Structure 1
């Protein structure tokens, strides 16, 4: 397996003002927000939503039971037989309450999804913005399950459907039928919770294709710290344990990990990447605003606001606070 890790050593990435990162009700990540907002520019490629009509018969439905969907823009020229699949991110839901809330949003129901979205970044059709993939078949798979496309189960009392794994399979089946089966090269990418999903499903994606197809994976901001917060708690581990248990994720985690570790540990990607056989590229900021806020310094762990200034502006961090970040960055650094 070829693996490369790119770390952006930019302290300013988490020095964000004017953004509310405290939406603990649904653990929605702001990392993936902008590119899924309603189209606001006529110069940006706008791609309509396609619902997977055959998904319901497979039980592959969003949290509220609606059909899952994706956005596809066809490739052309030299990229006509090449595909980029991007798995949307947007946090997780770990309790009945948070999942019930989530199903009233685009993260849990196609009823609330935008009917069309902007294609930017790796999905852009502009050669100057996206020189390597602008003319490939480019797909954004919408995220409406709350468990990184990995859950399996349901909660009858609250009419919640935890069908992330089935959504993944239904989306791949439909895209294969739409020409992806003929791909000569394919990339599975994802951001945030979608970046975790791209790791979880990387080898599954590779196995869809014949050996002659070149397949690689890209996880953007998909590594999450199993870290101790400033109060000595384990915010993200506790939340992940809820996701795994509530949504039946353990059924779909790699046995190469679950045979050695508990299911919650196997939802942390750092415990998965060494067993992924498909070439994978990992892109993660050394200082990630979402993880600083939700994992290392959640509001509940800082009741007196001692870290508030530091979270808002890194130049306001004292030496011990900077050391706190650096120790955790070194501990979780993955080398090539």
Structure 2
């Protein structure tokens, strides 16, 4: 009996590993070199990037754009450290990544989107694609240009077929989930008017509460992010006209203003 169960578990393990390998097909990186001329660059000045697994069959004109997460950097020191990693430079990104979950091409795992064009936008600016500071300190060479990356990547995708989209879906997780909220309506505006567009934020809702010491740590942290990256002018004006810009980094203060489903 024990031997039979062991064999069953081993067979299940082998099956799971095979299916994981199948689901996680490697998808090559695309570097958006033209974005550099627009000043749309990662923290270290390198061009932005994404991975694209092309759609097929009935999904050939449907597009899912997913923004990866990775937190934020709220000062020069942390952003400088970040610029030496994949979260701040396309030079350090993997040349290919596995697509799983909502990006999987396996129908059993991802029945709604498996045959869509599935894109993973790499996150390399440290402020959920909201920053835009023209000046670059020569001592650090840090570029706070996330708000320029966003349209540059979308425009590149439009030129590669997304302009013919029938359905377009913006998603993101964590800091990318916040980005999917903040950029939901701008995504709708960039996609052709005839397309059906929706947005999804996965774990992108951050609450403004006191920590166990009684301090409002995350509010102060967001305040530093907004100041460091020059994000205020790129946050929804419907929010910043009423409250402090750093409070408009909290989804609960902007989500009700979003017009796109």
Whether TM-score is above 0.5 comes out as yes
How far the C-alpha of 1:42 sits from its partner, in A, is 4.0
Write out per-residue CA displacement over residues 250-269 of structure 1, whole angstroms, 9 at most, x where no aligned residue.
Answer: 01011100110110001111
Partner in structure 2 of residue 93 of structure 1: 73
Deviation for aligned residue 1:217 = 0.1
Structure 1 unmatched ranges of 5 or more: 1-40, 280-336
Secondary structure at the residue paired with 1:161? Answer: coil
Deviations 1:166-218 (A, max 9, x none): 11011000000000010000000000000000001000011113332100000
Which residue among 113, 119, 142 is the counterpart of 1:160? 142
Aligned length: 239
Q: Which has the higher contact order (CA 8 A, sep 6+)?
A: 1
Match of 1:221 among 203, 211, 216: 203
Distance (whole Å) between structure 2 residues aligned to residue 164 and residue 87 of structure 1: 13
Q: Distance in 2 between matches of 1:144 and 1:267?
A: 18
Q: Equivalent of 1:141, from 121, 135, 138?
A: 121
Q: CA deviation at 1:273?
A: 0.3
1:158 Cα deviation after fit: 1.4
Equivalent position to 1:248, from 230, 233, 251: 230
Tell me, yes or no, if the aligned pair for 2:164 and 2:192 is still in contact at 8 Å: no
* d(CA) in 1 for partners of 2:192, 2:66: 21
Misfit runs of 4+, over 4 Å:
none
Runs of 5+ in structure 2 lacking a partner? 1-19
Shift of 1:244: 0.1
Give 2:214's aligned residue: 232
Q: Does 1:206 align with 2:188?
A: yes
TM-superposed deviation, 1:55:
0.8
Where does residue 39 of structure 2 map in the other structure? Answer: 59
Q: Secondary structure at the match of 2:125?
A: coil
SS in 1 for 2:73: coil
Q: Is the 8 A contact 2:165 2:192 kept in 1?
A: no
- Give the equivalent residue in structure 1 for 2:254: 272
Higher helix share: 2
CA–CA distance in structure 2, aligned partners of residues 174 and 194 of structure 1: 19
TM-score norm. by structure 2 comes to 0.90
Q: Does 1:112 align with 2:92?
A: yes
Partner of 2:172: 190
> In angstroms, what is the RMSD of aligned CA positions?
0.9
Q: Which residue matches 1:124?
A: 104
Equivalent residue number for residue 64 of structure 2: 84
Is the partner of 1:217 in helix, strand or coil?
A: strand
